[in-house]
Structure 1
Amino acid sequence: MLSNPLIAAERKEERHHFMMKLLCGFTLLLAIAVAYYIYIPLPKTISEPWKLMVLDATFRGVVMMGDVAHSMGLSHRVRVINSAIVNFESLVPITNQEIQIEDILFDGVHVRVYQPPGQDGKLRRAVMFIHGGGWALGAPKLGSYDSLCRQMAADLDAVVVTVDYRMAPDVHFPVQYEECVQAAKHFLRPEVLTKYSVNPERVAVCGDSAGGNLAAAVAQRIGTDNTTTVKFKLQVLVYPVLQALDFNTASYQQNQNVPILYRRLMARFWLEYLGADLKLVHSLMINNHTAQDQSLMSLIRSKLDWTTLLPKRVIKHYKPVFPVTGSLSILKDIPALLDTRAAPLLAEDVVLRMAPRAYIMTGEHDVLRDDGMMYARRLELAGVSVTNEHYEDGFHGCVSFGFWPCYFSVGIRAVQNYIAWLAKHL
């Protein structure tokens, strides 16, 4: 018969083995759950899909945290998301530290001015940059946007002004637009350009995503403003969002579930920007606000008729989606959906003719691809010179991921290429 100490030892070893098996099983289940959460099917041609999956899983987690906090009344969802973004962007190291910065007000609007060191008496070119983030998110003085502005200042030997406009939920349209216009008009004043040694004939306006929307709208406003003697020479629009009347363009249909900008999220950004009820998300996504029974739409549909404005290679097999009947109240309750200050794609040809030469970047795997391509075509038809740089492996937000710690090859190429275009044409 075994002694008590031996029995105790055997039982202890059995318990140890059981606990190890339990731990291994739990670890396996956890790994499966994490993999299931992270993995989403992505197009084979998209840039570095596994890296994008991890990035997207992180962002989805933050968005869910924001929704939970909002539903519990702890904080507005946008503030939770933006707090996480600011914390992440603070990890990005400062590059091109020789660039001089100045935080100042332009007609009451917060801006940061980047200037290369040294001045040999010659006039420099300049870029006004407007950041994206759905008119609600973003840290223009931190991380990837700060690195981008520093790189533009260094590579172009240019003065770069980034606009730190107020965002939702604190303000809504048209505040973001008006602040960008105020900053632009102030910067384009001859005495201000002289102060920063800027050549008035070599100034560009640039923006990405919602910043591209604002940059396009500002370029239209400055182009038609008789009180502004200095005009922008160029506009650079990086995957811009330009309309909210059709959430079923070919690119919306093709990329509705492709990170990091899902169709539902873009609809939410629009409603937040316009100060509307987020419960209307589903109605927007199925185009209830632009149904065929709304006579008003027939007057403006040609301005966003992607079946004629887009090349067949991107239309593919997709068909327009416009319900026979819809919600007549949406356009009445949210008139800004038809406002060209919010939706520059809806501008009249006479306005487009006054717009500066354009560089428009689009990505194949982006719900906003067709917004940019339609605008490029409408500008061309209005007689404006346009370069549409399209990335077959591009996704929304890739320019912000051309810097550490989220390097994407397409982001690095996109930044290099559009700065090279500015270097050649500005």
Structure 2
Amino acid sequence: MSVLLRSFPVFDPHFVMMRATVLLMVIVTGLIGYYVYVPIPNTVSEPWKLMLLDATFRGVQDMCHLAQQVGLGHHLKALNFVITMFEMLAPQSSETVEVSDTSFDGVQVRVFEPKKVDGELKRSIIYIHGGGWALGSARMRSYDHLCRKMAKDMNAVLVSIEYRLVPEVHFPEQLNDAYSATKYFLQPEVLSQYSVDPNRIAVSGDSAGGNLAAAVTQQLVVDSSIKFQLKLQALIYPVLQALDFNTPSYQQNMATPILYKHVMARFWLEYLNGDPSFVQAMLVNNHTASNLSQLTSVRAHLNWTNLLPQSLIKNYKPVIQVMGSPQVIKALPALLDPRAAPLIADKGILQLLPRAYILTCEHDILRDDGIMYAKRLEDAGIEVTLDHYEDGFHGAMIFALPPTNFDVGNRIMNNYINWLDKNL
């Protein structure tokens, strides 16, 4: 009698572990891919690199928000710590540029002085860094590199302002710092100390720094105590208003890295020390509804149907709420203050301003802020150079060093410096 023997699979723990590991890797890879991937127009410079940069930035932001929720401090303070942790540089002079940290009227500044001696007075640029009035530093590697390069290439004295940030201070303290340092530098004895030609001085800044640069320029032209005025203002993708979050560029780029529509609204609320719950009202322009009489005098300054070319308007429509709540404007009157929103300044002020260079990027929610300001300046009789980058994105210029160096960032930086070199 034969016995039928049945074979059973032998349990192999190593095989099970391997399968579990592979499955876990697939899941993790999928989650990372889901987090990293965002739809980016293929006309953006190096889209995959931008995608990875954006994912990193969003990841750090999420961790900082979590830190605030568990009571470890304000998320923007934590975010700035992370951003600057590996970026902060002590003043390091080179063979061509002497770098020093000092203070102008109590405001910290970093000064870059070319060592080349030619017996003539030098040009000068006052630079104000970006970062939503809450992030960044004049001592960061990226801004140190930019100002050092400008000093060297242009044989110019660079003054990079280290203004105070949110959450320690709010509007108008950032502007007060920038203005105080600029006004101090424009004193004849200080200009003489740094061998600067008083007739060849510019102010410049990127993003929120562009906002402060524009506001400083507007304040200087009405300050009767100023003996020397600026020759140029150079604004790099500036943020200039918070009354319309639905311009064509806001609609087109609301989800384009690295500056999102909702993030910009939150930066504004932090800067103006507003209630975070106002975000949604601002995103749908409920704070600028047509029934709010406070806006009557500034509506024309924001009418992008008249200020933008049809090539940018495309098929986008204005978002105008018929009935809105006056709550936001009432709580935040600075929304109607040109010191916070230089775009809404009266024409009488714009007519007094110096020649302008305004740089904009196609894939940037702030594109139209800069282009509308350029049109308003031109209508006021001011000569304007508008430098637009079809493959550019917000913040591109400061991403010019490894590992976050972008080709468009280097082009923007070089063209910006070349324009200043030719016109200052």
Q: TM-score, normalised on structure 1?
A: 0.95
- Could you report, residue by residue, the CA deviation over 1:398-422 in whole angstroms, capped at 9, with x for unpaired residues? 0110122211111000000000000
Contact 1:104-1:112 within 8 A present in 2 as well:
yes
Identity of aligned residues (%): 53
- Residue 4 of structure 2 is matched in structure 1 by none
Contact 2:127–2:204 (Cα < 8 Å) also in 1? yes
1:70 offset after TM fit, Å? Answer: 1.2
391-400 vs 118-127, which moves further:
118-127
Taking the aligned partners of 2:283 and 2:326, their CA distance within structure 1 comes to: 15
1:247 deviates by 0.4
Instruction: Select which of 413, 421, 424 maps to 2:411.
Output: 413
* Partner Cα distance (1:91, 1:394) in 2: 27
**TM-superposition CA deviations, 1:230-256 (whole Å, max 9, x none):** 011000000000000000111001000
Deviation at 1:96, TM superposition (A): 5.8
Of 120, 126, 151, 1:128 maps to 126
1:129–1:160: 8 Å Cα contact kept in structure 2? yes
CA distance in 1, matches of 2:10, 2:157: 75
Partner SS for 2:242 = coil
Residue 17 of structure 1: CA displacement? 1.8
Evaluate the alpha carbon distance shift between residue 309 and residue 92 of structure 1 in structure 2; reply closer, same or farther with a 3 A threshold: farther
Contact 1:140-1:162 within 8 A present in 2 as well: yes
| 1:397 counterpart residue number | 395
- Measured against aligned partners, the alpha-carbon deviations of 1:93-116 in whole angstroms (never above 9, x if no partner) come to 979664211111111111111001
The amino acid that maps onto 1:20 is M
Q: Which runs of 4+ in 1 moved over 6 A?
A: 91-95
Which AA in structure 2 matches 1:29? I
Partner of 1:4: none
Query: Which residue in 2 is equivalent to 1:84?
Result: 82
Deviation track 1:31-71 (CA, whole Å, cap 9, x = no partner) reads 11101110011111111110001000011011111111111
Aligned to 1:157: 155
Unaligned ranges ≥5, structure 2 = 1-6
Cα 1:55–1:155, aligned 2, differ >3 Å: closer, same or farther?
A: same
Taking the aligned partners of 2:35 and 2:91, their CA distance within structure 1 comes to 30
Separation in structure 2 between the aligned mates of residue 97 and residue 32 of structure 1, nearest angstrom: 50
Mean Cα deviation higher: 382-391 or 68-77: 68-77
Q: Tell me how far apart the structure 2 counterparts of residues 186 and 134 of structure 1 sit (CA, whole Å).
A: 24
Take 2:61 and 2:104, find their aligned partners in 1: how far apart are those partners?
Answer: 33
Q: Which of 40, 54, 57 pairs up with 2:55?
A: 57
Q: Which runs of 5+ in 1 are unaligned?
A: 1-6
Q: Which has the higher helix share?
A: 1
Q: Write the mapping of 1:201-280 to structure 2, written as runs, cut at 5 A.
A: 201-280=199-278
**Greater Cα shift, 352-361 or 110-119:** 110-119
Q: Which shows bigger deviation, 385-394 or 89-98?
A: 89-98
Partner SS state of residue 17, structure 1: helix
Q: 2:117 aligns with which of 106, 116, 119?
A: 119
Could you tell which deviates more after superposition, 177-186 or 295-304? Answer: 295-304
Alignment of 1:73-112 (within 5 A): 73-90=71-88, 98-112=96-110
User: What code does the residue aligned with 2:139 have?
Assistant: K
Distance 1:94 1:374 in 2: 39
Report whether the alignment pairs 1:27 with 2:21: no
Q: Work out the CA distance in 2 between the residues paired with 1:257 and 1:125.
A: 40
Q: Which residue of 2 aligns with 1:36?
A: 34
For residues 302 and 219 of structure 1, what CA distance do their matches in structure 2 show? 22
- State the shift of 1:139 in Å: 2.1
Letter of the structure 2 residue corresponding to residue 291 of structure 1: A
Q: Which one is further off, 400-409 or 210-219?
A: 400-409
Distance in 2 separating the partners of 1:355 and 1:274: 25
The alpha carbon displacement at 1:140 in A equals 1.5
Q: Secondary structure at the match of 1:147?
A: helix
Q: Given residue 339 of structure 1, which amino acid in structure 2 is its aligned partner?
A: D
| Residues 94 and 147, structure 1, Cα contact 8 Å, conserved in 2 | no
Please give the root-mean-square deviation of Cα atoms over the aligned residues, in Å. 1.7
Asked if 1 retains the 8 angstrom alpha-carbon contact of 2:111 and 2:157, the reply is: yes
- Count of equivalent residues: 417
Whole-angstrom CA distance in 1 between matches of 2:173 and 2:90: 29
AA at the equivalent of 2:374: A
8 Å CA contact 1:96–1:151 kept in 2: the answer is: no
8 Å Cα contact 2:91-2:99 kept in structure 1? no
With the length of structure 2 as denominator, give the TM-score of the two structures: 0.96
- Taking structure 1 as reference, are residues 65 and 117 closer, same or farther at Cα in structure 2, changes over 3 Å only? same
Tell me the equivalent position of 2:364. Answer: 366
* 1:177 equivalent in structure 2: 175
- DSSP-derived class of the 2:45 partner: coil
Give the aligned partner of residue 343 of structure 1.
341
CA distance in 1, matches of 2:249, 2:93: 35
Any conservation in 2 of the 1:65–1:80 contact (CA below 8 Å)? no
Distance in 2 (CA, whole Å) between partners of 1:371 and 1:17 is: 60
Distance 1:54 1:92 in 2: 29
Structure 1 counterpart of 2:290, from 286, 289, 292: 292
User: How far apart in 2 are the matches of 1:208 and 1:189?
Assistant: 25
- Residue 150 of structure 2 aligns to which amino acid in structure 1? M
Tell whether the 8 Å contact from 1:137 to 1:167 is kept in structure 2 after alignment: yes
Deviations 1:175-210 (A, max 9, x none): 010111111111111111110000111100000000
